[in-house]
Amino acid sequence: MSDTNEDRTDVQLGDVTVGRGAGGETHQTSGSGVPSLTTQQGVKVADDQNTLTVGERGPQLLEDFAMREKIFHFDHERIPERVVHARGFGAKGVLEAYESLADVTMASPFTEKGKQTEVFVRFSTVAGNKGSSDLARDVRGFAVKMYTDTGNWDLVGNNIPVFFIQDAMKFPDLVHSVKQEPDRGFPQAQSAHDNFWDFVSLMPESTHMLLWVMSDRAIPRSFRFMEGFGVHTFRFVNAAGESTFVKFHWKPLQGLQSVMWDEAVKINGADPDFHRRDLWDAIQSGDAPQWELGVQLFDDAFADEFDFDVLDATKFIPEEVIPVRPIAKLTLDRTVDNFFAETEQVAFCTQNIIPGIDFTNDPLLQGRNFSYLDTQLKRLGSPNFTQLPVNAPRCPMHHFQQDGHMAFTNPVGRANYEPNSWGEEGGPREDPNEGFRTFPRDEQGAARRVRPESFADHYSQARQFYRSQTSVEQTHIANAFAFELSKVETPAIRLRMVAGLRNVDEELAQAVADGLGLDELPDPLPVAADPIDLEPSGALSIIQNGPDNFAGRKVGALVSDGVDAATLTALRSALADEGAMIELVAPTVFGIHDSEGNELEIGQKVDGGPSVLYDAVAVLLTDDAAATLSKDAAAKDFVTNAHAHCKFVAHNDAAEALFLAAGVRSADRDEGYHLLDGEAAMSTAFVEACRDLRLWAREAKVDQT
Ligand code: HDE
């Protein structure tokens, strides 16, 4: 057997040379400016293509340490996925304070105006496994780790300000019910099945959250366009030791936006990574998304007089009751360098708070404080997970905790206990002045297992949420309930849920019953406390809180070879002026030129770029291409779906043939359709119309056709 270069059988694959023979090397060798491939022990590897064998076709040799090490490591690459929020996506950035909040908190990010704190954010879905699709109807996690100079503060929130349950003890039941049913292992990333609706229909405290989850909040267009909430009531504590209650809000400066359910279903097929790709692309292109951190501050007197218990996580405080005060700006301007090292290994713990922040007695929060630390040990395998770079504080830390698996930051010196008498050599000491001090709240009472009376009203805020929505949004909520319950196989569960909805709103219950084809409404479920009518809150509607521009949104332009150069240029420039993007979709990815012969960069072949991937569309074709595409199912779907999803459509005259083939007659083409013929003003008018995001007036008409 020879290992000389003469024995190599290199293969030329396009512009890449790959070594294949005995002793063969890849095209990149140590001499060409790239480092040598090594084993984990640092031994350079000569051949990464062929295992050591006896003779050319003989058995493999166990002594091939390079091959065995490679396979061994591969076999152990996976760690347990998160038991909930398994599918997530992280990004890095900075939090910048608007002002000093020293009067209410000594929390380090807010000590002075302009103060910057490094952050890591992980967005997630809850129910689906790690490989599930982004557009599942689900709550989104919005977890923020702030590396402050007084320690790490984790605000582990969601995109919905309330939760399904009032006591952490019910969390395993809730999660079991929504995840795959245990006997069959499906459905994946879906709440539309018997177990989930069985559980929640037996837990009236879930009703308020269900309204949010059946609303378009649960199918956001992008992480960039959704709010975040700390959910629980926390405490701010100032240097004088005074406490103020606080609820945290993240408000996207991009405005709120969601997709329609039919779009969500189709996006999941077309691009299951739609949300993570969106965030990645936005940050990579320099369009860093931003959120304002806002707080609702209140005292004991407000807590006593408010209609609901501020410790009950199934309730929120409307912004009309306590306005949200913006205190800082979050900018996510860096993608992760390595998905596993950062997004997967990041370990959020609700117990990670810093001086100036404290807990309240919210029973959900107290339970979480146990769960998050506990779950990280299971997932990351060692109490030293805090030493992983993504989890390590950026401020100095000194303690006597030692050893354990994978301890790679180890104290030096003799002292590993205190008190000790080793003087300056004796290691760190307590800091009574700057150390964390728990707010000295008064607590007394008998140990009991009891749900407070003040947690009993399960319907009033659900009703308030529903009645705060536009009629378009109300229809979406009713449709979502009907869809989900139609997937439930057990009639009694469907009926129990409709019976519960009667306590929320009779019209909603009726609309759901109609959607299911139910002749007669069941009697309402008994209530523990009579629901009351509360003032609607405009802040709860997505449509009323959209952007006032089209920035950060994307137009999909279906074009063909020979597309009019002036029209395309005018459209591109109007979108660029708005800060919006355009992606070209064409019958092929090579060989498409504009009318002036310029080769166009095509983002998607027509069957890979359905209109559900875009916020608005353009159809700019030649007559020949329109005739050909009129026979193409994907091109017709592009148009039909854009129309059905109430999108704004720019087009040239030639697009007519495709519209007709797609069943969009001229009578169907409303003011959402904009003819473009190269004039800049026409493109500008189209982009201005797009600021509304959708022409909702079309929705009812589409449903009727
Ligand atoms: Fe979580 N939750 N949770 N949760 N949660 C987890 O921790 C838990 C709750 C939230 O991107 C787990 O590291 C209990 C509310 C987010 O890594 C686990 C209860 C809110 C994330 C856990 C709740 C959340 C998690 C699983 C009921 C919004 C993802 C993996 C008391 C305020 C964090 C992990 C990330 C993750 C427990 C309820 C948000 C098992 C026991 C309410 C955003 O510890």
- What is the 84 CA–ligand 1 centroid distance (Å)? 7
- pTM reported for the whole predicted model: 0.96
Residue 581 has pLDDT above 80, yes or no: yes
**Structure confidence at residue 33 (pLDDT):** 83
Q: Tens of pLDDT along 116-128?
A: 999 999 999 999 9
- What is the 143 CA–ligand 1 centroid distance (Å)? 9
Q: At what angle do helices 194-201 and 491-501 cross, to 10 degrees?
A: 40
Query: Are residues 583 and 557 in contact, defined by beta-carbon separation less than 8 angstroms?
Result: yes
- Which residue in 27, 50, 85, 651 is the catalytic one? 85
Top mutation candidate among 179, 205, 372 for ligand 1, by most atoms within 8 Å of CB: 372
Single-letter amino acid code for the residue at 278: D
Ligand 1 pocket residue status of 156, Cβ below 6 Å: yes
pLDDT category, 394, cuts 50, 70, 90?
Answer: very high
Beta strands in 664-703 (DSSP E): 673-675
Beta strands in 477-601 (DSSP E): 554-559, 581-586
* For the chain, percent of residues with pLDDT exceeding 70: 96
- What is the 141 CA–ligand 1 centroid distance (Å)? 8
Q: How far apart are CA 531 and CA 207, in angstroms?
A: 12
**Structure confidence at residue 16 (pLDDT):** 73
Ligand 1 pocket residue status of 316, Cβ below 6 Å: no
Give the closest residue (by CA) to ligand 1 atom 14. Answer: 368
Average pLDDT, stretch 232-253? 98
Average pLDDT, stretch 149-173? 98
Give the closest residue (by CA) to ligand 1 atom 28. Answer: 157
Q: Tens of pLDDT along 658-673?
A: 999 999 999 999 999 9
Q: How far apart are CA 235 and CA 248, in angstroms?
A: 10
Q: Tens of pLDDT along 6-62?
A: 455 667 777 776 665 544 444 456 666 899 999 999 999 999 999 999 999 999 999
Ligand 1 pocket residue status of 371, Cβ below 6 Å: yes
Give the closest residue (by CA) to ligand 1 atom 9. Answer: 368
Average pLDDT, stretch 262-281? 98
CB atoms within 10 A of CB 509: 23
- What's the CA dihedral at 635, 637, 640, 644 to 10 degrees? -140
- What is the 392 CA–ligand 1 centroid distance (Å)? 20
Ligand 1 pocket residue status of 375, Cβ below 6 Å: yes
**Structure confidence at residue 9 (pLDDT):** 62
Q: How far apart are CA 483 and CA 467, in angstroms?
A: 21
**Structure confidence at residue 13 (pLDDT):** 77
- What is the 368 CA–ligand 1 centroid distance (Å)? 7
Q: How far apart are CA 693 and CA 255, in angstroms?
A: 11
**Structure confidence at residue 472 (pLDDT):** 98
Ligand 1 pocket residue status of 155, Cβ below 6 Å: no
**Structure confidence at residue 12 (pLDDT):** 72
pLDDT category, 411, cuts 50, 70, 90?
Answer: confident
CB atoms within 10 A of CB 212: 23
Q: How many degrees, rounded to 5, is the angle at CA 467 between CA 462 and CA 473?
A: 100
- Distance between alpha carbon 285 and the CA centroid of its chain, in Å? 19
Top mutation candidate among 79, 83, 84 for ligand 1, by most atoms within 8 Å of CB: 84
Ligand 1 pocket residue status of 171, Cβ below 6 Å: yes
First to last CA, the chain: 75
- Which residue in 152, 158, 503, 641 is the catalytic one? 158
Please name which of 125, 493, 99, 403 lies closest in space to residue 273, comparing C-alpha atoms: 125
Q: Tens of pLDDT along 342-371?
A: 999 999 999 999 999 999 999 999 999 999
Query: Are residues 669 and 640 in contact, defined by beta-carbon separation less than 8 angstroms?
Result: no
Q: Tens of pLDDT along 468-491?
A: 999 999 999 999 999 999 999 999
Average pLDDT, stretch 198-209? 98
- What is the 121 CA–ligand 1 centroid distance (Å)? 14
Average pLDDT, stretch 217-233? 98
Query: Are residues 656 and 630 in contact, defined by beta-carbon separation less than 8 angstroms?
Result: no
Residue 98 has pLDDT above 80, yes or no: yes
Q: How far apart are CA 376 and CA 592, in angstroms?
A: 51
pLDDT category, 332, cuts 50, 70, 90?
Answer: very high
**Structure confidence at residue 19 (pLDDT):** 63
Structure-block tokens of residue 428:
């760190």
Q: Tens of pLDDT along 415-441?
A: 999 999 999 999 999 999 999 999 999
**Structure confidence at residue 18 (pLDDT):** 67
Average pLDDT, stretch 601-624? 98
SS (H, E, C) 426-453: HCCCCCCCCCCCCCCCCCCCCCCCCCCH
338 in active site: no
**Structure confidence at residue 31 (pLDDT):** 65
384 in active site: no
Mean pLDDT for all residues in the chain: 95
Ligand 1 pocket residue status of 122, Cβ below 6 Å: yes
Secondary structure letter of residue 44 according to DSSP: B
**Torsion sign over Cα 374, 380, 386, 390:** negative
Single-letter amino acid code for the residue at 678: G
Length of the chain: 705
Residue 132 has pLDDT above 60, yes or no: yes
Which ligand 1 atom lies nearest to the CA of residue 85? 29
Ligand 1 pocket residue status of 231, Cβ below 6 Å: yes
Ligand 1 pocket residue status of 158, Cβ below 6 Å: yes
Determine the 3-state secondary structure of 241 from DSSP. Answer: coil
**Structure confidence at residue 22 (pLDDT):** 47
Structure-block tokens of residue 97:
């304070």
- Distance between alpha carbon 556 and the CA centroid of its chain, in Å? 23
- What is the 118 CA–ligand 1 centroid distance (Å)? 22
Q: How far apart are CA 526 and CA 647, in angstroms?
A: 43
